[in-house]
Structure 1
Amino acid sequence: MRTILTPLLSVSVLACALFATGCAHRNPYYDAAKSHHRVEGFANNYPSNPAYQRPPRGFFEGWAARIANWTEDESVRAPLAPIAPVAPDLAFIHANRSEPALTWIGHATFLFQSGTGVNILTDPVFDERASPLPFAGPKRHQAPGVLLADLPRIDVILLSHSHYDHLSKASLRALYRQPGGPPLLVAPLGVDVWLEKNVTGGDRSRIVKLDWWEKTVYRGLELHLLPVHHWSARSLWDRNATLWGGFAVTRPGFAFFFSGDLGYSKDIGDIAARFDGFDLAAIGIGAYQPLWYRNSHVSPDEAVRIHRELRVKRSVGMHWGTYPMGQERLDQAPRDLALARAAQGVADDAFFVMRHGQTYKPPIAP
């Protein structure tokens, strides 16, 4: 009986928390001339893939299915073998000013070093749970590959969307108080308002808000917000109230793509048409089971298609092995990625996974 009641209690408590954090919303940035804008929020550019099953019918049934997935017995998603981290190369990370480098901290959190002395953190989440509650919701399986206290000074934080596994109040507050001054926070429309209320104490001087296809320039780097197929919410009542997106970080001689969360869509072709390939990419490969999750997350096979379509030289798979967000095992994505590479004729060293704490230095053409 206890094994039944515990998940039910977790579902009930988490649902109450999601109810409590919600409120009516009106889009303060609504622009009727933009097709992805809505009075109450935002929408995807393209419809969901009809080949995938729809989520359970109804508003409450859909959320109940998600919450049940996060609170069920996690042994069915346990890795078949331990996911071994590596000790981070802190000496290199702190000294590096001249080499492009990518360090995987976990899930969608990376330290990207531009090669020009700029340290960029993507979707920083160091929490024990990706949830509004400390005792319910997806629990961290793997410790952060680099601790918050061990990070170099962060110059820029890129935030892809508002989901709890990508947007952490505690992590952002800690980073905002870092020695040497707060980083620049670059976020989609609407997330800037959340940052102002929850992180910066009303100060907007370190917040940059972007719509799709907009960019800001920081110390010679162009930071572009790109359209991807996903959604946003931090409660049961604010679905799609804030915008979501991926990022491109470009400078002469190097381009980096960060997918955020995305389902496969025609947006990828639109991005490919505007950029002349990428030297390095971080692309999600996890949370693709059950099948209907692929409306907003890509499978490893689709991730390899994105790698090819965007003409990426080296891609790293992310969004796996840290939080149990889907129903696949935590280490299933790398195995499926290997099958997808072989099926699509992509070399092993062109699209791979990293270990928590590992730093990758992409080869640079002379």
Structure 2
Amino acid sequence: MAWHNPWYDASLAHHTPEGFRNPEGELCQPGDLQRWRRARRQQNLPLPPQHGYPAFIETWYQDADLSGEDDRIWWLGHAALLIRLNQRYILIDPALSARASPLPFAGPRRKTPAPLSIARLPHLDYVLISHNHYDHLDRPTIKQIARRFPAAHFLVPLGMARWCRQRGVRTVTELDWWQAATLSGVTFTAVPARHWSMRTFWDRNRALWCGWVITHRHVNVWFSGDSGYSDNLSLIAQRLGPFTLAALPIGAYAPQWFMRGQHMDPDQAVALWQQTGRPVTLPIHWGVFELADESLDEPPLALAQALRRAGEENNRFAPWRIGESRSLENKDSELS
């Protein structure tokens, strides 16, 4: 018997009877994955960072410092974020294991250390997941959280609650795009992203994917999740902005002909940043896993070039070190 989407709503463009889809349509054609993999092997891509992996780590990594009590955000590498908001701790897409893979001995290996362990957190209140790919939903990390912080409340897109409960998570809220949950004064809104989902060979797009907007008093943070570029994404800022801070992806974009429907490149990230009001923006989805053809150190260089091409000369959209943090309490134009 064919699987039927239990959340199906014919009035919503991203719903189908079989699961979910991007309203923009799909760009990949049958055979594209095999074509990309062949070219990747033939060209021996990706290349290592220009000065090697140790030098890359020296330049772009630091241990996460959790001291203080202010509202603050940490970049934990790739798409993982930690937010302290009103003395509550929020983890987003915490993939902290050695590999982004279902197997401990194969799959993309972490090239930079995780700047934080679950054991170091003083407490954990909320965990947000954008989608079920292995570089965003990491089973060992989720099981650690469930054991150490059994009261942590997970917020996930439609179709992911069962997976979380099977790994020991006690409290899970599933949301569709534009749905929100307010918990202890913090509002979490699931927002659109242009991507896809798949955990096994037989569950493609049966779970939804999303970004998140986190709002509490003067703080309003947009985490885009894993997303290709779409003009539709600017609607998020129109409906829920302006933002104190945004986190936009700049990595895993090469080759563009294959990745464009699921990952935006730096030029597209800059265009979206401009369309959404130029908030202070953390570039994410780079620096840890080699998921595409560009080298690990290419995205920050490509971002700088994209900003110059767009006529933008400021530091409101600039790379952070993995493990670096910024206060969310500065109401001026920049965060420190």
Fold-level similarity (TM above 0.5): yes
Q: Say which of 56, 65, 68 aligns to 1:89.
A: 65
Provide the alpha-carbon RMSD of the alignment.
2.3
Normalising by the residue count of structure 2, what TM-score does the alignment of the two structures yield?
Answer: 0.90
Q: Deviations over 1:163-198 (max 9, x none)?
A: 11000111111011125x331100000011221223
CA contact (8 A) 2:45 2:293 kept: no
Match of 2:317 in 1: 351
- Deviation, 1:136, is 1.7
Match of 1:191 in 2: 160
Match of 1:326 in 2: 292
**Which 10-residue stretch deviates more, 65-74 or 307-316?**
65-74
* 2:25 matches 1:47: yes
Normalising by the residue count of structure 1, what TM-score does the alignment of the two structures yield?
Answer: 0.83
Q: 1:146-165 alignment to 2 at 5 Å?
A: 146-165=116-135
Secondary structure (helix, strand or coil) at the match of 2:235 reads: helix
- Deviation, 1:248, is 0.4
Match of 1:110 in 2: 81
- Deviation, 1:66, is 6.5
Match of 2:7 in 1: 29
Secondary structure (helix, strand or coil) at the match of 1:352 reads: coil
Secondary structure (helix, strand or coil) at the match of 2:163 reads: helix
Q: Say which of 182, 201, 225 aligns to 1:260.
A: 225
Q: Which amino acid aligns with 1:329?
A: S
**In the aligned structure 2, how far is the partner of 1:322 from the partner of 1:303?**
19
Provide the identity percentage.
34
Higher helix share: 1
CA contact (8 A) 1:228 1:245 kept: yes
Q: Say which of 173, 194, 197 aligns to 2:143.
A: 173
- Deviation, 1:273, is 1.9
Match of 2:199 in 1: 234
CA contact (8 A) 2:147 2:168 kept: no
Secondary structure (helix, strand or coil) at the match of 2:318 reads: strand
**In the aligned structure 2, how far is the partner of 1:237 from the partner of 1:344?**
42
CA contact (8 A) 2:266 2:302 kept: yes
Match of 1:280 in 2: 245
Change beyond 3 A, Cα 1:252–1:69: farther
Q: Say which of 270, 277, 298 aligns to 1:304.
A: 270
Gapped runs of 5+ residues in structure 1?
1-22, 49-53
- Deviation, 1:62, is 4.3
Secondary structure (helix, strand or coil) at the match of 2:144 reads: helix
Q: Count residues in correspondence.
A: 325
Q: Which amino acid aligns with 2:157?
A: P
**In the aligned structure 1, how far is the partner of 2:42 from the partner of 2:221?**
36
CA contact (8 A) 1:71 1:137 kept: no
- Deviation, 1:285, is 0.5
